[in-house]
Copies of this chain bind each other. A is one copy, B any other.
C-alpha cells in the first residue's frame, strides 16, 4: 500500500486536533466562534506582547528580511507606508522559474504525507503566526494604513480565523470519505467479488496567491491555507506596497515546515521589482494550477481569461449598496452607517458606496425625514467620529495610496458635496496621509458615476423615486458590476423580503437593519460568507465547499482483496 492514506496520527495533528474539531463543528453550525482573541489587551496577550511585537517589527526596518529562499538573484524594497514611515525592508528576489521549480520539487513529499499531517502542520503554522500576532499587526498597520486595533483584528486575529476556516473546509473535503475502503459484491453462487480501494488526495500543482495592498493577510490567508492543506505548494506574490505581512507569514510558515521535516519551499515569497509583472508571469506558468487573487476587476478578469491552466479564484471590485426605506432607530442607523463609512477611510472591499434613499424621504422613529435630513444624519455621524483628529485616526487610519487621493479630488466635480473630505494631521505620524470620508449627492440618473467603483472614502447618497426604484437600481447595478455587501433599512417585513429577493437574484449578501455593533462591512469567520461568487465582484466565496473542493483530486487504486 502506498503512503499517504494509511497515515499514523501526526504529532502536530494530535496537538491541534481539538482546535480542528471545534473549527469543523463551527463550519457546519455557522454560529459565533473564534479561535484567536481579537482584543489586543495585555490581559489577553500578556504585558509585553505589544512591545515585543513592535520591536520585532522595527527590527525588520531598513534591513534584509531573513528569508532563506532558493534562486535569489538580488533584493527588492518597494514599500512606502501610508503613515509616512520609512520601511526600507529588502526582500530576496527570484525569478518565476526558480520559484516554481523549488515549489514543484517540494510537492511529492507533502502530497504523500496525507491530510492529517498536512492539517497538523498548517495548524502549527497558524499557532506560530498567532504567537507573532503583534509583529504581524504592526506590519499590516504600516503597510496598509489601517489603524492599529483594526490591523490587529482584521490583519491578525480575524485573518487567522479565516485561515483556520479554510483549513477546516479543506480537511473536511479531503476526508469526506475514507482513505481506504473494502468493496464486496455478491456474485451469484460463487465467491463474492472483493476489492480493496485506496483513495489518494492529489494536489493540483503549484498554487499562486496574489496579495492586495489593503488586506495582505485577511484576503490571502484563505486561499493560501486552502491550497497548502490540500497538498499544493504555494508561491505568495505580495502587493509591492504590502510585502512585510506576507513575508512574516512565509518566514514562520517555512520555519514550521522545516521543523516538521518538510521542504520549506512548500511556501515561497515572490516579491517583485517595480514594473516586473511577476504575478502575470507566475500566473501563466504551466506548473501553476491554482491562482488566488484579490484586487482590481481589470486584473482579476485578465487572470480568469488568461491563466487557463489554473483554477482561478478572484475577488474584485463591486458596488456595495444600501437601500434606505424606513427605520425605527434613525440615530442608530446613522451611527452604524457613519462607522462603516469611516472605518479605514472606506478602504474596505465591503464598504458601502451607493446609498439609495427615496427623494421624498423616509419614515423614522423621529418622524418623517427628508432625503437631505437622512443624508445629513449619516454625514453627521461620520463627522462626529472623525471630528477629533486623535480619535478619528483610530477609525480612519491612513490613505493606502495615491489612487485614492486622485479619486477624492475627482469626485468633488461629480455632484453636490454633502460632506467634504478633510486632510487630517496624524498626532503620532506627521507624514501620514489621512483623509476623512466624503459623501456626494447624486440623482438616480447619474448611473455613469455611481455604477463604477470609487474605491476609498467616497460614498454617494442617491435620490430615487421610491424603495421599489432603489431595489431596481440595486439589481441593475449589482447584477452588472457586482457587490460584496448590500444593506437594507426597513420597518416593513414586506420591504425586507423584497430586498432579500433582490439580493438573492443578484447574488449579494444582505444585512438588514444594522443599528448597533454589527456593521455591513464586517464579516465573521465561521459564520458569514465573504463574497458569494454569484455576482461579478467575486467568482468564489470565502470560504465554502466550492472554494476548496477543486484544489485537489482523488486518484483511486484498487486491488483484489
Residues of A within 8 A of B (CB): 2, 27-32, 111, 173, 176-178, 181-185, 187, 190, 193, 195, 197-200, 202, 204, 304-305, 308, 496-497, 500-501, 503-504, 507-518, 524, 527-529, 532-534, 541, 544-546, 549-550, 553-560
Contacts and interface: CB of A to CB of B under 8 A. Distances in A.
B555 A517 contact: no
B556 A510 contact: yes
Contact of A553 (B199, B305, B507, B518): B507
A557 B323 CA distance: 14
Nearest to A508: B555
8 contacts: A31-B183, A173-B545, A176-B545, A199-B529, A513-B560, A518-B560, A533-B553, A546-B550
Given A497-B2, A544-B549, A177 B30 contact: yes
Given A202-B504, A518-B195, A183 B560 contact: no
A497 B198 CA distance: 12
A176 B30 CA distance: 10
A211 B212 CA distance: 42
A496 B510 CA distance: 54
Contact of A549 (B195, B199, B512, B549): B549
A434 B202 CA distance: 41
A557 B193 contact: no
A308 to B, nearest CB: 7
Nearest to A184: B32
Given A30-B178, A507-B202, A528 B496 contact: no
B503 A555 contact: yes
A500 B111 CA distance: 14
Which applies to chain A's interface (DSSP): helix, strand, loop or mixed? mixed
Q: How many copies of the shown chain assemble into the complex?
A: 2
Contacts of A497: 2
Given A111-B504, A534-B555, 19 more contacts: A29-B177, A30-B181, A32-B184, A176-B545, A185-B524, A193-B518, A202-B504, A305-B308, A509-B557, A512-B558, A512-B559, A513-B559, A518-B558, A528-B556, A532-B555, A534-B553, A541-B554, A545-B549, A546-B550
A412 B175 CA distance: 48
Given A30-B197, A183-B527, A532 B549 contact: no
A305 B501 CA distance: 33
Contacts of A559: 496, 511-513
| Most B C-beta atoms less than 10 A away, residue of A497, A510, A514, A553 | A553
Contacts of A187: 517
A340 to B, nearest CB: 14
Closest 10 CB pairs of A and B: A534-B553, A546-B549, A545-B549, A512-B559, A510-B557, A30-B181, A549-B549, A509-B556, A546-B550, A32-B185
B555 A504 contact: yes
A265 to B, nearest CB: 19
Contact of A512 (B182, B305, B528, B557): B557
A104 to B, nearest CB: 12
Nearest to A559: B512
Given A184-B31, A200-B504, A511 B550 contact: no
Contacts of A305: 308
Nearest to A550: B546
A510 B528 CA distance: 41
Contacts of A558: 509-512, 518, 528
A32 B183 contact: yes
A198 B529 CA distance: 11
Contact of A503 (B177, B501, B516, B557): B557
A518 B185 CA distance: 10
A515 B503 CA distance: 57
Contacts of A200: 504
A106 to B, nearest CB: 15
A129 B60 CA distance: 68
A204 B535 CA distance: 10
Contacts of A553: 507, 532-534, 541, 546
Nearest to A28: B177
A512 B559 CA distance: 5
Contacts of A183: 30-32, 524, 527
Contacts of A199: 30, 529
A545 B178 CA distance: 14
A557 B517 contact: no
Nearest to A172: B176
A554 B527 contact: no
Contacts of A529: 199, 554, 556
Nearest to A201: B504
Nearest to A518: B193
A308 B306 CA distance: 11
A214 to B, nearest CB: 23
Contacts of A202: 504, 507, 532, 534
